[in-house]
Amino acid sequence: MNTGIHNSCGLCRIDMQHITVTSGEDTLLEDVNLTFHCGELTALIGRNGAGKTTLLKALLGERQYKGRIHFTDHNGTEVPVPKIGYVPQQMDFDKSMPVTVSDFMAAAKGGYGVWLGKNRKRKQEIQHMLEEMDCGYLAHRRLGALSGGELQRVLLALATDPVPDLLVLDEPVSGVDLAGLDLFYKRVTELRDKQHMAVLLVSHDLGLIQKYADRVVLLDKTVVAQGEAETVFAAKEFRETFGFAPGEVAVWK
């Protein structure tokens, strides 16, 4: 979720320079240098333990790091507090609670309890947010009754209202069926194109990465390959990391 009122992306680029993260004697990330731009969907891939989640946490300000992360607008001016939207891999909650999608979104947007009610304007805003994701019909559905794909679209609606400068997606469709996957990424790319926001995605689905990502970064505690999907997939570092080429296996877990 994000704060503030923002109608379009105010950034031009995000630079991560010499990012190193340690935990005791363990090095989780070492000298990571990345630049990604607004209007692009950058996919972050790597084996388990490669540091993908650690990198996201550093970017979100949830993990201490050495190095520098800075955000620059179209005039070359640094943006000290960018607006960041975030969709997690999963959301833990009591699925038996009688909370509707509309209740949940009202609480998330307004900061008050779901039992306190919603005024008419807020209901209309929530309905519009859901309709933007082609799921307006979910407004009165119980939150715990949603499918994985439906819940992720609700979370995407929250993460992109107001429009963020950067949208971070941490394996957001884990366990979602193929139709739900494709619909989710279509909405993300529509947002990228319409709002010109930067999108950083962690995913294990090579097919969807190849279809939707503008750029791919292969991480193994540092950046070992980056570029267009075909370039990264053909790199020897890719085979060394996963033990196969994309033509041999379409999806890895």
Could you read off the pLDDT of 134-154 as tens digits, one per residue? Answer: 899 999 999 999 988 889 889
Evaluate if residue 214 carries a pLDDT over 90.
yes
Q: What percent of the chain is predicted at pLDDT more than 90? A: 49
Model confidence at 238: pLDDT above 70: yes
Q: How far apart are CA 208 and CA 11, in angstroms?
A: 26
Domain boundaries, the chain: 13-91+164-242
| DSSP β-ladder status, 13-23 and 66-72 | antiparallel
Dmax (CA) for the chain in angstroms is: 57
**How far, in Å, CA of 252 to CA of 203, rounded?**
10
According to the model, what pLDDT value does residue 122 have?
81
The CATH number assigned to the domain with range 13-91+164-242 reads: 3.40.50.300
For 1-21, what is the mean pLDDT?
70
Average pLDDT value over all residues in the chain:
85
Alpha helices of the chain — where are they, by DSSP H?
52-59, 101-110, 120-132, 148-159, 178-195, 206-212, 229-233, 236-242
- 141: nearest Cα among 155, 154, 159: 154
Is the preceding peptide bond at 162 cis, omega within 30 degrees of 0? yes
Answer whether residue 75 shows pLDDT above 80: yes
Structure confidence at residue 115 as a pLDDT band (50, 70, 90): very low
> Has residue 43 got a pLDDT over 90?
yes
> Does residue 102 surpass a pLDDT of 80?
yes
What's the pLDDT score for residue 76?
Answer: 85
Instruction: Name which of 40, 13, 44, 86 is nearest 192 in CA terms.
Output: 40
* 12-16, 149-153, 160-164, range with greatest mean pLDDT: 12-16
Q: How far is CA 238 from CA 81, 189, 202, 205, 226, in A?
A: 35, 25, 16, 14, 10
Q: Supply the pTM of this predicted model.
A: 0.84
pLDDT score of 112: 52
Return the SS3 of 7.
coil
